[in-house]
Each structure stands twice: as C-alpha cells, then as structure tokens.
Amino acid sequence: MSLSTHYLACRKGDLSTIEQILPSLSLDEINQIEPNGSTSLHAACFFNHPQIVKLLLKHGASRTVLNKYGNTPLQEAITDEIKELFYRKAADAQGRFTTDLTPDAMEWVSVENGIYGWRNKQKISGMNVVKAADCITHDKRFCNAADMNKIKYFLDKARQTQDPHWLLKAYTAGADLCRSINKSLASSPSDIYASFMEEDFYSFVGCFFHHEALKKYRYSGKCYRGLKLAREDFESNYKPGGQLLIKPFMSTSKLRSVAENFALSPSDDPNTLSVLCIYTIPERTLLFRDNVALNISSISEYPHEQEVLILPYTSLTILTASHILSGLIEIEFEWFSFMQYQK
C-alpha cells in the first residue's frame, strides 16, 4: 500500500497542499495509521514542520495515537516550538486544575445525609455508552462549542465500540463540554435518588462508575488541585474532621507542580486565598465495585498534565489545613465512605 497524499505533504513540509486538502479530510483520515506505522501528525512533528502541526491540531488531529514505536506525536517532536503547540492554553489549563469552589459544587455533610453520594452513584450507574454519546451529540448547547468536531469524532468511536474510554477522551478534549457538564452537576440536588429523571448529563456520568473497561485506569495515591477560596469560608469551614460531598467531576494532577503553579496565580480579590488541595485515594478503593478516581493521562488529549479524574459524588474528609512558606494554604483531604455508618 502507498502512503497517502496528505501524509507525504506533512512529511515534506508542503504547507500549500495541506491547506488545500485538509478541510476535505475526515478525522478518521487525518488520524489514520499509514502503511509505515505513522500518522500525518507524527510525521510533521518528527520532520519539524510547526505550521503544519498547528493546522493538524486545529483540525482535530488526535494527540494520543501511537505510532509503530509506541510514541505519541508529542514524543516524536524534536523542537520546543512544536512541543509547545501540544500544551493546553494557559486559561483552559488553569480552569481545569484550579477553581473557585462554588457553594453549589460541594456540600458539607453529616452521618445523616452523607449517604447521598453513594445512593446517587447506584441510581445512575450502568448507563448505556451509546445513550451517553447521544446525550452530548444532540444537546443544542454544544452546537457551536469549540472543538466540537473532535468531540463528535470521539463520541462516534464510543458508539461504534461501546467503550466508555472514548467518552473520557471527549470530556478531556473540549473545555466547553467539561464546563457545561460540571455546571449541571454542581447545580443538581445532593440527593437525586427520589427525583432523578434520565435527562441532562446523568446518562453520561453514569457510564463511569462501574464499567469493567475502566478498571485498568483506577488510581490510588496522592493527586493535587489548586483552589481559590474566600478567607471567611476557609476560616469557618475548613477544619480537620470536616466532611464534604463533591458533586461534579474534579480534575487533579499527579504532579504537585501543575496544581501549585495555578494555585499561586494572582487574584484581584484581596479576601481570596490561594490553596493547594492534596487528595489521598486509599489503595483499598481499587478493590471496590465503584470507581473513585481514574488515571486518565493515557486517555487525555493532554497526557503531559498527568490528570487524575475524581468522579462525581465523592465524599472527602479533611485531615489537615495549614499555611506553608510559599504563601499557599495546604489542605489535605482523604477519600471517605459514609457506608461505614450504615447498619
């Protein structure tokens, strides 16, 4: 078999040919593995053609396809100029690994209402992957979303394979999708057990709790996230022993430096504190039926961020809260189960 025209143009650095034919190519064609075991994006990276790399990424070329050597396109890049094209925009990255924790996104809980998170997971677990993909595809809120072409490509793969890891790729690929899903989850009732209707994003979220295909991504250990927190909220609520329920997905990183850099970003509000959150997911959770946290660095379109995704309706308890020399406040959390109180 011969190499495709667009692959040869990417390898040679023929920008005019790429500009001409790229709009007519499907993402399957852009991402296809050529007979030599490479993709167009791998070739453009290896042969140092930054303008072509930029065009391919703009048109949705996947950052995570492996060539015959087991390398991603980023790993084939030979210059810093090309490597920087693969990094998420600073504003989008900051929004992913640091946040202003809104009151809607979490709820301080007690023994009486702590079981809500577990009940919610049981109610929506086991949703159909095809239905979850359809939920996003037909949602009018995403008609003009950035990266929707790439998101639809991943959703089509989810339908074809019924593998939820493609849903995770869609989630990590688009900032608009990520924000809308988490905004909806944050504003949902803490207890959806009695009032739940199969609408909005529950069918999407429900695919991730029990699916067998996701067990290999389970994570235990420490992960980090930056947080901007009102001084009054910190002083009133963030005390050792406090317990809370997180309703949305929560992106964290295995790399402390990723979250720390974003946490230290300046704020216009003098009453806002910069906080580094440290989450410990115990090893025993790997044996549970429910997924708690997923290491999605090999799934994400931005693998260098070393993302760990903590799933919705996760309960946490505060271990310590202290000031450190860098000016940050450091809060240590650990996964917590209210099921121990159930008889």
In this prediction, residue 110 carries a pLDDT of 62
What integer pLDDT is reported at residue 341 of this predicted model? 47
Residue 342: predicted pLDDT: 47
Predicted pLDDT at 99 = 60
CA distance 107 to 316: 11
Confidence (pLDDT) at 277? 94
What is the CATH architecture of 91-341?
Alpha-Beta Complex (3.90)
CB 172 within 8 A of CB 299: yes
Domain with CATH 3.90.176.10 in the chain: 91-341
pLDDT in tens, the chain (343 residues): 799 999 999 999 999 999 999 999 999 999 999 999 999 999 999 999 999 999 999 999 999 999 999 999 999 999 999 999 998 776 666 666 666 555 566 677 665 566 777 778 877 777 789 999 998 888 877 777 777 888 999 999 999 999 999 999 999 887 788 888 888 888 877 766 555 554 567 888 889 998 889 999 999 999 999 888 888 888 888 999 998 888 889 999 999 988 888 788 777 778 888 899 999 999 999 988 889 999 999 998 888 889 999 999 899 999 999 988 778 899 999 998 765 544 4
pLDDT at residue 343, as a whole number: 43
E strand spans, the chain = 98-100, 106-108, 221-230, 243-246, 250-253, 272-281, 293-295, 307-310, 314-323, 329-335
Say which residues have a Cβ less than 8 Å from residue 43's Cβ, sequence separation at least 6. 7, 10, 11
> Which tokens sit at 299?
């799934």
Q: Answer yes or no: are the C-beta atoms of 57 and 85 closer than 8 Å.
A: yes
Helix 256-263 vs helix 90-97: crossing angle, to nearest 10: 100
CATH 1.25.40.20 domain range(s) in the chain: 5-85
Top-tier CATH class for 5-85: mainly alpha
